[in-house]
Structure formats: structure tokens, C-alpha cells
Amino acid sequence: MYNRSLRYMAASAALILGTSVFTGCSSGSGSPSGRLYNAAVEMTNESGETVAKLDYTVIINGEEMIFPVDLDQLKASGWTPENADEVSGFYTKDGVRILLRNCQKSDDKYKVNGISVRSRNNDGVQFTASTSKGVEINVSTKEDVVNIYGEPDKEWDYGEYFYYEFGPEQASDRDLDRNAVGFEFNDNGVVNSIFVMR
């Protein structure tokens, strides 16, 4: 897991010096200076400590996944690909089905940048899935999401709420955007999907 404080210090220093620093892949939209500026924007908690707007952790049946994560680590913990010929795609464990997104190869290893967990992909399966901030599938409501994350940076066509680490101007594609956390809701306004992409 990277050190967020160092990242923010580097981003702030780059702003002062007028240089460009990247700490990951671009989603293809927005300028480097816009990305850098937004990376330097911080939030503080009640104690005045600096905190990031988002983290990229999903907890499934008590198993914490912090993205990006090594694919080998997920496989070692029991996640099995539905199609052995594909790296990205659906994986299952104990009957739970997840979609791994944006797997990138570095040397001989793959890093997984994101995940989608959906109720509709797990009909009839007893499981829990939540973000580390406490939004849980089949339990939390839109109101809960807003209470935890604030008003969404972008609401997509089907009513999904998306939050972006680097600002809403980066929101060009809900399935590909990096540094984002998103939620879908059922007709009763209850969370039925969690999306994380780092």
C-alpha cells in the first residue's frame, strides 16, 4: 500500500515547481495539470488530520482487498477465474462472483486495478460486500452513501453515484475511469453494486 502523505507532498511540490508528476495510469481525459491540481486537494477529519477523499478497499465475506492488488495474491486466497484464458473477467470464490477490471502486466506479474461486485451476479448466494467506509451491498441506502461520501461527483444515466479522487472533470467513462468509487441502486434505493477502480 502506498504512502498517501508522500503522494500529496509530491503533488504539492510539483505544483510549486510547475513540474508534472504521475503516480498511475491516466483515464485518458483531463490535462496532467488538472489531475495534479486535484491530487493535491486534501480533506481533514475532526482532529484536523489529513485524509484522502477515497480509499480503494472492498471487503467480501470479511476478506479485505486493497486495489491495486497482485493477481497472484487474489488467486492464492482462493479466487478462481471462470475463463482460464482471460486475466480480467469473472472470478469466483465460495460461490461469490466478482468482476476484476483493468489487469495490467508488469514483467511476469499482473496487477488488478479494479473490481465490480453486483447483487445480480450473485442471485441466491449469501455474502457480504462493503467498502471500508461502511457502504454495504443489499443493506446501505442512497442516503447512507451520501452521508458517508457526500453528494456524488457524477450521477450516471442509470442513477449510479460515482466519486472521483481527482475530481468530477475526470469522469468520462464509468467503466474505465481510474481513481473512482461507484454505487448502483435497486428500485428501493438500496445499494446493489459496488465499483472500485484505482
3-class secondary structure, 71: helix
The total number of residues shown for the chain amounts to 198
39 is written with which cell numbers?
A: 491530487
- Label residue 185 by pLDDT band (50, 70, 90): very high
Which has the minimum average pLDDT: 20-34, 134-148, 155-169? 20-34
Q: Which three cell numbers stand for residue 31?
A: 490535462
| d(C-alpha 154, C-alpha 181), whole Å | 11
Strand partners, 92: 80, 97
pLDDT at 13: 38
The confidence score (pLDDT) of residue 53 equals 72
* pLDDT tens per residue across span 16-70: 333 322 222 223 333 232 232 233 334 555 676 655 679 899 999 999 999 999 9
pLDDT value at position 114?
A: 95
For the ranges 78-82, 108-112, 165-169, the lowest mean pLDDT is seen at: 165-169
Residues 126, 41: Cα–Cα separation, whole Å: 39
| Three-class DSSP category at 45 | coil
Please give the pLDDT value at position 5.
Answer: 39
Beta carbons within 8 Å of 198's beta carbon, 6+ residues apart: 24, 56, 67, 68, 113, 114, 178, 179
Cβ(66)–Cβ(112) below 8 Å: no
DSSP one-letter code for 42: -
Tell me the per-residue pLDDT of 63-75, one tens digit each, with 9 for 90 and over: 999 999 999 999 9
Q: What is the DSSP secondary structure assignment for residue 87, as one 8-state letter? A: S
